[in-house]
Chain A
Amino acid sequence: MKKGIDCEVFQDQLDALSGEALSEEGIDLLRRHAATCSECATLLRMREHLAETSPGNLEAAVPGALVDSVWRRVQAEIAVKESRRPSRASGWRQAGWLLPALAAASVVLLIGTGFLLGELRRLRDREALLVQEIVDHERRVSRLDRPADSPLLLRRGTLSAARAWQRTLERRETVSIEDLTEMLASLPSRTTLFGQSDVEALISSLPLWIGSAWREALEEVSAEDGIQASELLELILRLDIDSSRRIPSARILSFSRGALRAG
């Protein structure tokens, strides 16, 4: 009778069962040991149970209907999950204020851009007008500075200067001799300030204390065509009048009306 094996040897040899590495005699030894040991018998049964079907055989035994149903069921479950999950579309719906806000912002941007473009166009038109005004002004200035070859132009230039002088005096109650000389120096030299009749009225109204030198000088400069700006300036300088002395503007104006009327 052959010698039996113990549990350790049995368990070591167990894997060899499925590998067909054991001889018929070896398998017989294992089975005989299993018959005497419940634990090793269970191990053998477990081993045989699990090795009964190889993975390949088990795969082949899977019912075809089950395999076919997997994709349909997976698809259905995913569809249910996706419907429960907040979608991008519902996200947009939740942020429902966003679309109107964006639309409003676009409209405001459009209007703003239109307004700015209009403003830009208006500023450009204004700039063109100002440039034109400057050009016209420069043209007028150059015309005034030009030697007066035309009596008409000369007349118009000096007349406007006389009116400017009159307006300056009208704004002041009194005017000092110093201011008067400055005003006269800034006027075109041929500006007629006092007409012939004005000078005559002036001379006749001069107080008695005014010396004869004044009367003679006035008569001399106004002999032909009244008193012009350069002549009056020269007269003041010649007579060496006190520069701080102030003369009522109304008095000067009262004598210069004739000149303006003549213009």
Chain B
Amino acid sequence: MDEREISALAVAYQRGDERSFKTLVDGLSRGLIAMAYRYTGDWEWARDLTQETWIKVHDRIHSYDPARSFRGWLLTVHRNGCLDHLRRAWVRLESAPGDEAIGGYAAASSFGNPHEDLERREFHERLLVALGELSESQRQVFVRVDLEQNDQREVAEALGMKFTTLRTTLHFARKRLAAVLVAMEESL
């Protein structure tokens, strides 16, 4: 589905056409699950977060401005949901360190051999935990650029910051994360 088709469906849904909502859910859920997977490292969690996002869209569709990109609005809602999921996990980890993993990692990864998958999942989990140590602006830049793999210039525009500012923020975010991850490795 291209942007124009997506926006037309969103406007139709805003006017009460439930079939348009189903078309949007069916057409965009795969991308949302993939995005949420980067925040959780778990397909089930990713699917649950995607489901929550669509419920929020259903509840807030009347606040959507048709003059703006529906996909952009949808991704913002979804990203905020994913970050909220991480924040809840960070709170849990603070109260009971090591008690519960961020994503659970119950589902097997689709990539590589089981040993590599385990190492990758464990590293990803530590990375998500380390995200909690960043400032809000560093986190916003890092998740959009490195976690979601978006173009740096587009992210700078979306966040309303200069490209050089974004580059500097990203640089310090990575350094901070690396330091936290090293500390976590050493404590194992």
Contact = CB atoms under 8 A, between A and B. Distances in A.
Contact of A55 (B34, B44, B46): B34
A69 B47 contact: yes
A74 B37 contact: no
B50 interface: yes
A116 B47 CA distance: 69
B111 A53 contact: yes
B47 A66 contact: yes
B25 A62 contact: no
Contacts of B147: 50
B80 interface: no
B178 interface: yes
A12 to B, nearest CB: 8
Interface string A112-143: 00000000000000000000000000000000
A61 interface: yes
Contacts of A70: 25-26, 29, 33, 47, 50-51, 54
Contact of A42 (B30, B33, B44, B185): B185
Interface stretch (B63-71, B97-105, B119-127, B158-166): B119-127
Contacts of A38: 182, 185
A51 B148 CA distance: 10
A62 B175 CA distance: 31
A218 interface: no
Contacts of B13: none
Nearest to A76: B51
Nearest to B120: A49
Grouping DSSP codes into helix (H, G, I), strand (E, B) and loop, the A interface class, with mixed when no group exceeds half, is: helix
Interface residues of B, number: 39
Grouping DSSP codes into helix (H, G, I), strand (E, B) and loop, the B interface class, with mixed when no group exceeds half, is: helix
Contacts of B55: 74, 77-78, 81
Nearest to A55: B149
Interface string A53-64: 111001101110
A74 B26 CA distance: 11
A255 B31 CA distance: 128
B158 to A, nearest CB: 16
Contact of A71 (B22, B171, B175): B22
A11 B175 contact: yes
Contact of B58 (A42, A61, A67, A74): A74
B23 to A, nearest CB: 10
B140 to A, nearest CB: 16
A202 interface: no
A196 B112 CA distance: 152
A66 B30 CA distance: 8
B187 interface: no
Contacts of B51: 70, 73-74, 77
Nearest to B32: A70
A39 interface: yes
Given A71-B26, A74-B25, A74-B54, A58 B34 contact: yes
A109 interface: no
Contact of B148 (A40, A55, A73): A55
Nearest to B55: A77
B43 interface: yes
30 contacts: A11-B174, A14-B174, A39-B178, A39-B182, A42-B182, A42-B185, A43-B174, A43-B175, A45-B123, A49-B127, A50-B146, A50-B149, A52-B120, A54-B149, A55-B34, A55-B35, A55-B149, A59-B31, A61-B111, A62-B37, A62-B46, A66-B44, A66-B46, A67-B26, A70-B26, A71-B26, A74-B55, A74-B58, A77-B55, A78-B58
Interface of A: 11, 14, 38-40, 42-43, 45-47, 49-55, 58-59, 61-63, 66-67, 69-71, 73-74, 77-78, 81
5 nearest A-B residue pairs (beta carbon): A58-B34, A70-B29, A59-B34, A42-B178, A66-B47
Interface of B: 22, 25-26, 29-31, 33-35, 37-38, 43-44, 46-47, 50-51, 54-55, 58, 110-111, 120, 123-124, 127, 146-149, 171, 174-175, 177-179, 181-182, 185
